[in-house]
Amino acid sequence: MTRREWWYEPGDAVIDVWDVDGPILLVCGAADRLWPACSQADDIATQLAYRGEPAPTLLSFEGVGHEIGLAVPGAGGAGRAAGEDLQATGLARAEAWEAVLDHLAAL
């Protein structure tokens, strides 16, 4: 049994984006070893397009893994546990945080 299988049931993390009434921002790390975040984000974008919904904003970061999810400043996590490139993760977090602020300001 993998670590992922031990704690994660796929249905637990499903977010019903089809009912979101507004713009969607997706952020992922292409080197995520916990789950295929970027391919899942691509799937969401494809399904939204298929349904005639506006395309989401998608930020995908190379060399960055699961730790991108801690984009909020001071949220913790250095990326070492996941074997990530610390410099790439730090730069991606800063860019993702700015994108979150811009996204919220545009609402």
Output the pLDDT for position 60.
95
Can you give the pLDDT of all 107 residues of the chain as single tens digits? 444 444 455 555 566 777 888 899 999 999 888 888 898 889 889 888 888 989 999 999 998 888 887 766 666 665 555 556 778 888 888 899 999 999 999 99
Nearest alpha-carbon partner for 26 in 72, 52, 65, 60: 60
Contact between 24 and 48 (Cβ < 8 Å)? yes
Token pair of 98 as six digits: 């700015």
Output the pLDDT for position 6.
45
Output the pLDDT for position 17.
76
Output the pLDDT for position 68.
83
Q: pTM above the 0.75 mark?
A: yes
Output the pLDDT for position 63.
87
